[in-house]
Structure 1
């Protein structure tokens, strides 16, 4: 059974998704309506009128207020009802929940929890850095979010599930190193391949021919943000002793893992690169191919969700070395959910 981690920031949308049209999205089972105020700030309110439960996302904006499309109850940016039909007195309880929102690194983050935010959202600065060009998207996943966490922390599946795109034999063959920062609650999983085949995803985007040095350094910030720092260079080409790396190609792959319900997930993905910044052809290629890879994961995890739903009680799965990061994530998520 899925256990949500509350009192945390979650990505609700990309900034470009939210404008002056009402936008509804469910996060951790909570239906929320978003819109941009006339000042440009993002507003987030509970997506249900207090009167007869009509979704505010199916209503209309009047300036910075939402007018319920059923009976006209009207709410300001703080969720306070400022008008009810047929009477001047507004009931004291006529208000909807207002959510704290932060717009950062192209994401709109929403605080899901009781009371004010306790921490700041984690960062993915490449997504808003002019030194990088980014493609992005979101795919709905009909599976619990923990399955996506497992998937992303064990990239050996690239060899088998994503062959012809990003997978090569070396990914599964290369041992990983795993470190867990218990105090910060961050998991690091690294796989560094000194001499690997160059998958089409990188060969066609970088122009590298032949074999490559390929680094995959994962940084997972439970529960919501996954960062994959990828370095690609011709085989044998390493960063310089002074730390600069002019001969390497760097790709920052970002996933925001946002539970929708106990058995569905918003799978936000973004790919930022520090090369071919103005080449639209490279952007189109990476966007199409990464979406294909994400959809391959979606198909596999949707199947796995159905298998789990029908498996007998007490079934025990087998874990091996490549699962070290995923098992650490499970432990930390369980601890976070219990606090």
Structure 2
């Protein structure tokens, strides 16, 4: 039985990944073909021909103007998924069509709806506006994870692991030692986890990017909207510095860390990550440093979670894990995801 919630929006790609070329990515077990039309609009259809299932992304399939020509037998499809040409005959079968996926493009992401297209309400897509805001500079990447998406959710909702897994980059002793607070907004479907360190060691990740040294005030405010979008609002400032009563915070550095957690299959995940900052805007050296170091941190997580996936796959039946206070946010997220996955319905075939 699938554990991946359906009738949900997932990040399929960064906007910059999809051009006027054929591009394929598997989302929630479904191979999807993307391309951008000459007018700049993104199209998404199942990545297989209705004739003999040949992947439309596979050479010698090709894009001719805005139409996809299957490289096996020449069936040709328009942006609406309808077949417009069948070799050797003028009549096109009524069923020769691919059902397009609902799409939305915002905040540097291309979102795709997996499930019943009639339920694809774009107002449900969570926002991360700083990723393409002129008030921020962002770096980004994506790493393949050979582990189920829920392990990455657990990882990101409990940042105490930074102390041990990411020492020398973003981890310091205070992260693990400082208690967290957790709030769950059931109506909005959001889990909030906060850790405010008022006197902490400044890790190299922030020392070299902000110029701060010694002890700092470091806040981590997590906002997770299941199933896909995770936002970490990081505040870095000198010890004793607090925001103004009106909410302005000119004496602090702010970093918005965003993860889009998109299942590829039941046991693999697309790990999209972005780091946006409101300081050193346009500074190429700072961008290069943050991109390289965050990529290292992500790869450390990937290595650990790939190992953990294999442990879970081969553990004896009935094993019970132990949860403690630091797991409160992750457990709340698990409950939300389980409720989302519970009412799964058979999806209408797209090809």
TM-score range, shorter chain: over 0.9
Matches within 5 A, 1:231-310: 231-310=235-314
Shift of 1:119: 4.3
2:320 to 312, 316, 319: 316
Number of residue pairs aligned between Structure 1 and Structure 2: 339
CA contact (8 A) 2:104 2:122 kept: no
Matches within 5 A, 1:74-223: 74-116=76-118, 117-120=120-123, 121-223=125-227
Shift of 1:237: 1.1
CA contact (8 A) 2:102 2:117 kept: no
Shift of 1:219: 0.2
Cross-structure match for 1:42: 42
> Structure 1 residue 69 and structure 2 residue 71: aligned?
yes
CA contact (8 A) 1:2 1:144 kept: no
Q: For residue 52 of structure 1, give the secondary structure of its aligned residue in structure 2.
A: coil
Q: For residue 56 of structure 1, give the secondary structure of its aligned residue in structure 2.
A: coil
Shift of 1:242: 2.7
Paired with 2:56 and 2:2, the residues of 1 have a C-alpha distance of: 28
CA contact (8 A) 1:229 1:253 kept: yes
Shift of 1:143: 0.1
1:128-185 C-alpha deviation (Å, 9 max, x unpaired)? 1000000000000000000000000000000000000000000000000000001111
Q: For residue 57 of structure 2, give the secondary structure of its aligned residue in structure 1.
A: helix
Cross-structure match for 2:339: 335
Paired with 1:338 and 1:312, the residues of 2 have a C-alpha distance of: 25
Cross-structure match for 2:17: 17
Unaligned runs of 5+ in 2: 344-351
Q: Displaced runs of 4+ in structure 1, greater than 2 A?
A: none
Paired with 1:161 and 1:25, the residues of 2 have a C-alpha distance of: 30
Assess, with a 3 A threshold, how the Cα gap between structure 1 residues 293 and 2 changes in structure 2: closer, same or farther.
farther
Paired with 2:62 and 2:186, the residues of 1 have a C-alpha distance of: 46
Paired with 1:142 and 1:189, the residues of 2 have a C-alpha distance of: 26
CA contact (8 A) 1:210 1:234 kept: no
Paired with 2:19 and 2:247, the residues of 1 have a C-alpha distance of: 42
Shift of 1:206: 0.1
Paired with 1:108 and 1:312, the residues of 2 have a C-alpha distance of: 40
Paired with 2:138 and 2:122, the residues of 1 have a C-alpha distance of: 27
**TM-score, normalising length: structure 2:** 0.95
Paired with 2:326 and 2:87, the residues of 1 have a C-alpha distance of: 61
Unaligned runs of 5+ in 1: none
Paired with 1:259 and 1:90, the residues of 2 have a C-alpha distance of: 35
1:6-29 C-alpha deviation (Å, 9 max, x unpaired)? 111100000000001100000000
What's the RMSD between the two structures over aligned residues?
0.8
CA contact (8 A) 1:105 1:123 kept: yes
